[in-house]
Amino acid sequence: MKQVFIQIILMACLLGYANTAIALSAKDRQNFMAAEKALKKNQYKTFLSLKNKLKNYSLYPYLEYADLKRNMGKHSKSRVQKFLTTYPKGPLAYRVQNTWLRSLVRQGKWADYQHFYEQGFQHQKQTDLSCYQAYAMYRNGEKKAAFAKAQTLWMVSHSQHVACDNIFKAWKASGGISQAMLWQRFKLSMEKGKKGLRFAKTLSKKMHKENRAWANLWFKVTKKPSIAFINAALKGSASQGADILLYALKKEAKKSVSKAVQRWRALPALHRFNEQERQQGEKILATYMAYQKHSNSITQMNKVNDSSIIDDRFEVLRLRTALRHGSWKHVQKWIEALSNEKQQENVWKYWYARALEQQGQPEQAQAIYSTLSKKRDYYGFLASDRIGSDYSFETDLVPSSPEKQQSIRALDTVERVFELTKLNRLTEANREWWYLINHQLKRSDAEQAAKFAHTMGWYHRAIMSMTWIKSWNDLSIRFPLEHKNTVLLEAKAKSLDPAWVYGIIRQESAFWKEARSSSGALGLMQLMPGTAKHIAKKLKIINPSKQQLFTPEVNIHMGTKYLRMMLDRLENHPVLATAAYNAGPHRALKWLPKKTNIDADIWVELIPFTETRRYVRRVMAYTIIYQHRLQQKTKRLSKRMKPISSMVQREPQTLLALKSHF
């Protein structure tokens, strides 16, 4: 009863603030937009007049920023510093810092540049500003540190930003760029293939005669890799020759790894590789054997034992290769070869237990499953199914605190989020929210902000807030039941599990109805316009506009129809349908086993696209969580993940038209 009473107080407070927000002067909002318009038209007196009327308006800082930006180079250092002090750690501060720093470069004020650069918290990731900083350090007498920074910026596979020219020139004049370093950068560029070839040719012109000859030979090998294996110039043990031969081997292996093996076995007669170079060759063959599903993949991977060249990618590749071949002893062996930190990851705990179980060690496997089953994630649910234990839905609600909620609502940043949302400037609003959570609030207050966002119906911001601060246990915030009537209605009409529909929505958009992906997918269920057009034909309805796809009811109606289509085509298998929803049905069909059936957990682990593999794992886990949230009868994850059949027809004529939409 006390909890309900607190919730009522909380809602009353929030509704009061919401009503205040609604009652904000429409005139202020109009004046704000008019001021922006006046500045764009260079009507500066009008702009200043309107700006001065808005000093108490929440978006006043945006007008201050616009005014500051207008003639940044003419402003004093003190005015810029005042702005950064008044509005610290926010998107506007970030923009002012970036604009001001570039202005200081144009003015040649390197001492000021270094001072303001070191105040920043994001722009260090920008290459041009990093290069200017290195040059500022050089000009300010910190040459050793400047040249160390220059080397890091220089050693990349591509041409760097023109802003780097001055520091690179100074570093070169000091003798910093050796021929060995030049070859190393050249090699990085050549390994990028066609993408790096042009820059590699530029680098070769700066080489001494001997290295330039090696570079010219490498250019010839790019056109015809086979000539490397018979070229007398590659006799001996020069490291440049080894680089060229390993490049040619990789090109050959891409086409036919069997032929590449023959080439490799004959190479010792031409070139004397050192041990690390030999290991790199074995790794190339092992990698492409795995990609091409060669029967000797595991034998070849066993030949790669130099830890200095076994990177994260290769570690994962050989483990997945062992799973593909059902070699459980190698799954166990290669998990044991991982670092202690990696061995503690849920994914490898699960597969280690599976390997032990398959090799007749059920007690050891069960002990791992038992520990893992307490985790509320994909591998925790799978582990629970292996031992028949209940799922763990550990929940720790963010405590209700009307006082905290009021203080959150009173923050200037939150007021700006309200106004920007009101003006439909959602990108700006989301940036303000991101800075609030990540730079302005301590963790407990950030949780309260997430709860506040959830209460206000800002589900996406609430979910992302909990993710940013790694607060995992308030399921009501992280897995909202928004649009429940629509989801239940559409799921029932199409014979879909509503928990699965919710899992798709949660992963696709995190309940941001205005979501728009870089590829053009729209709305809650992230529909591509082309896919929506195809679905509209199936539903015999008018093709919805892009704007209509942002309407939850329309988006869920069409998205669930598409899910139903995927299920109908893919043997009513939710794992396959989930993969198809993300990557396209043609890819899901292409990934099916060729001959025998395969356990679904193994099939998911072998999905070649990292994004789709992660997507399927999350959606299946979210489905179990939403099953709990909807208070449905428990259907085990293992029941949803029956073995993947090889018998599905591989070119569905009804779905071929959808290929172009993914």
- Within 8 A by CB and 6+ apart from 614, the residues are none
Do the beta carbons of residue 662 and residue 612 sit within 8 Å?
A: no
What's the CA gap between 235 and 80, in Å, rounded? 63
Any bridge partners for residue 527, and if so which?
Answer: 522
Question: What letter does residue 155 receive in the DSSP assignment?
Answer: S
Place of tokens 């007021």: 415
Please give the span between the terminal C-alpha atoms of the chain, in angstroms, as a whole number: 51
Residue linked to tokens 């299920």: 567
Longest dimension (CA), the chain: 88
Token pair of 598, please? Answer: 């395969």
DSSP string, 219-286: HHHHH-GGGGGG-GGG-B--HHHHHHHHHHHHHHHHH-HHHHHHHHHHGGGTB---HHHHHHHHHHHH
Q: Residue 245 has which token pair?
A: 């031969």
Amino acid at 208: H
Chain-centroid distance of CA 551 in Å reads 26
C-alpha span between 618 and 351 (Å, rounded): 17
Residues 309 and 273 sit within 8 Å (Cβ to Cβ): no
Provide the β-strand partners of residue 598: 644
Closest CA to 323 of 609, 598, 579: 598
Question: To 5 degrees, how large is the angle CA 570–CA 576–CA 579?
Answer: 130
The catalytic position among 508, 514, 571, 605 is 508
Indicate the SS3 state at residue 522: strand
Task: Please name which of 163, 140, 158 lies closest in space to residue 150, comparing C-alpha atoms.
Answer: 163
The answer to whether 282 is a known catalytic residue is no
Bridge partners of 359, per DSSP, are none
**Which among 41, 9, 73, 91 has a CA at the least distance from the CA of 436?**
91
Catalytic residues: 508
